[in-house]
Amino acid sequence: MRCVDASAFVVQVNSNYLKLKAGYLFPEIARRVKAFSLSHSDKDLIRLGIGDVTEPLPLACRQAMKQAIDELGTEAGFHGYGPEQGYLWLREIIAKSDYQIRGCDVSADEIFVSDGSKCDSSNILDILGTGNRIAVTDPVYPVYVDSNVMAGRTGNAFDTGRYEGLTYLPIDASNNFKAQIPEQSIDLIYLCFPNNPTGAVVSKEELARWVAYAREHDSLILFDAAYEAFIQDKDLPHSIYEIEGARHCAIEFRSFSKNAGFTGTRCAFTVVPKELKGQSITGEIVDLWSLWNRRQSTKFNGVSYIVQRGAEAVYSSNGQTEVKSLVSFYMENAKIIRNDLLQAGYSVYGGEHAPYVWIKVPEKMSSWDFFDFLLEKANIVGTPGSGFGASGEGYFRLSAFNNRLNVEKAMQRIGDL
């Protein structure tokens, strides 16, 4: 019998995936929580880990979605493939209500409707060259890092969990969770404000310094504004386009997930201004808008008609009232978490303009020690700061997305520890 080399029949995998450290943070937490639940089925777990909304979808959105379903059941109202970029009526209302009203010069055709900021902030790498120098804050939303690893834009991981080839901008209590603007030249910079995970915010002046840096170094800022609706201070910027010059250096990601409860329904959008330019390997100047439009037309078929009608209803007068009340509800949760933790003696950050409260874990405990401690002793699920990056070690994130009773119960349990 001939011995066959099995490897001859095995497809090659993307080896970059093998560089990834452990599982993606939230599935890893889910795995640990599941293991705990199996052996403690009597425990009433309170989940303040992943930032997933809990309150029902706004009535205005549900009504619009129901009506859209009925339309699809008629010959005149049926829709097959929609535009890959999103329906114009949704892009127009977004441009007007989220941007033009704030004095930002963003037009409907610069808005690309999608099924999530997580996907868009990863997919954007498709149109960007592999030679770019990339900076992320540390801690950071893990998707930015992992998607670069998967795309082969980093080297291997160091023992710290950081990856060779990425520039990390540490943020912690000593710099008030504001990254220092790099001294060296960086091509791609990921910024997220209000920040996930720390809840930190950026002022217009601070953001203007990032824009000035990007203009000076011909860099591109990937600005994640998925949590802008949670801003409580009218002087803080909701969009990077409130800063002069940002149209030349920034792409912005926005989402309906957290403000309107679309985490399960899926709708978001990305703004790619027409001024943005990049360079090909041969030195040719290319529009990023055209590349993203090409990318979406080829790889994406748009968000469902029903969901886009639901998203459109967010901007109706009832929709706006309901969304404001959802945001206030979660922000009241954040306030309860902040105040009760402060009272329990913790150092607490964020939670004032963001649905995330970032806390310092007790001395001598690591972030994962504290995760296990809270899970076992208080049956509360949170997110270890180290899961967001090496500089998140010693911190812990609690999400304000839950119902009031659970938030109050969780704070009571922490107070009793």
Question: What is the smallest separation between the CB atom of 356 and ligand MLT, expressed in angstroms?
Answer: 8
Q: 190: Cβ–Cβ under 8 A, 6 or more apart, which residues?
A: 121, 134, 135, 136, 137, 140, 141, 144, 221, 222, 224
Give the integer Cα–Cα distance in Å for 251 and 289.
Answer: 10
Question: What is the smallest separation between the CB atom of 383 and ligand MLT, expressed in angstroms?
Answer: 7
- Token pair for residue 147? 């998607």
Counting contacts by CB under 6 A, is residue 118 touching ligand MLT?
yes
By the 10 Å C-beta count (0-12 exposed, 13-18 middle, 19+ buried), 96 is classed as middle
Q: Which stretch binds ligand MLT (CB under 6 A): 49-57, 294-302, 309-317, 404-412?
A: 49-57
Question: What is the smallest separation between the CB atom of 334 and ligand MLT, expressed in angstroms?
Answer: 14
Q: Which is nearer to ligand MLT, 104 or 400 (CB)?
A: 400
Question: What is the smallest separation between the CB atom of 401 and ligand MLT, expressed in angstroms?
Answer: 8
Q: Which is nearer to ligand MLT, 58 or 385 (CB)?
A: 385
Q: Which stretch binds ligand MLT (CB under 6 A): 45-53, 203-211, 270-278, 325-333?
A: 45-53
Q: Which is nearer to ligand MLT, 50 or 72 (CB)?
A: 50
| Count of residues near ligand MLT by CB under 6 A | 5
Q: Which is nearer to ligand MLT, 142 or 237 (CB)?
A: 142
Counting contacts by CB under 6 A, is residue 270 touching ligand MLT?
no
Among positions 47, 51, 68, 288, the unique one binding ligand MLT when judged by CB under 6 A: 51
Question: What is the smallest separation between the CB atom of 26 and ligand MLT, expressed in angstroms?
Answer: 6
Count of all residues that appear for the chain in the document = 417
Q: Which residues of 324-340 are buried (b: 16+ CB within 10 A; e: fewer)?
A: eebbeebbebbebbbeb
Counting contacts by CB under 6 A, is residue 119 touching ligand MLT?
no
Q: Which is nearer to ligand MLT, 49 or 319 (CB)?
A: 49
Counting contacts by CB under 6 A, is residue 123 touching ligand MLT?
no
Torsion of CA 106, 314, 317, 240, to 10 degrees: -30
Question: What is the smallest separation between the CB atom of 384 and ligand MLT, expressed in angstroms?
Answer: 12
Question: What is the smallest separation between the CB atom of 388 and ligand MLT, expressed in angstroms?
Answer: 8
Q: Which residues of 342-365 are buried (b: 16+ CB within 10 A; e: fewer)?
A: eeeebebbbbbbbbbbbbbbeeee
Q: 100: Cβ–Cβ under 8 A, 6 or more apart, which residues?
A: 106
Contacts of ligand MLT in 189-248 (CB under 6 A): 196
Q: Which is nearer to ligand MLT, 117 or 154 (CB)?
A: 117
- What are the angstrom distances between the C-alpha of 166 and each of 17, 191, 199, 258, 294? 16, 14, 23, 29, 28
Rg (CA), the chain: 22
- What are the angstrom distances between the C-alpha of 175 and each of 142, 161, 198? 21, 22, 12
Helix (H) or strand (E) holding 114: strand 111-114
Give the integer Cα–Cα distance in Å for 395 and 173.
Answer: 10
Question: What is the smallest separation between the CB atom of 140 and ligand MLT, expressed in angstroms?
Answer: 10
Counting contacts by CB under 6 A, is residue 50 touching ligand MLT?
yes
Are 365 and 373 in contact by the 8 Å Cβ rule? The answer is: yes
How many Cβ atoms sit within 10 Å of the Cβ of residue 52?
Answer: 15
Write the DSSP symbol of residue 99.
Answer: I
Q: Which is nearer to ligand MLT, 93 or 231 (CB)?
A: 231
Are 384 and 367 in contact by the 8 Å Cβ rule? The answer is: yes
Q: Which is nearer to ligand MLT, 104 or 268 (CB)?
A: 268
Question: What is the smallest separation between the CB atom of 397 and ligand MLT, expressed in angstroms?
Answer: 8
Q: Which is nearer to ligand MLT, 219 or 386 (CB)?
A: 386
> x/- binding map, residues 157-196, to ligand MLT, per CB under 6 A?
---------------------------------------x
Tell me which residues touch ligand MLT (CB under 6 A): 50-52, 118, 196
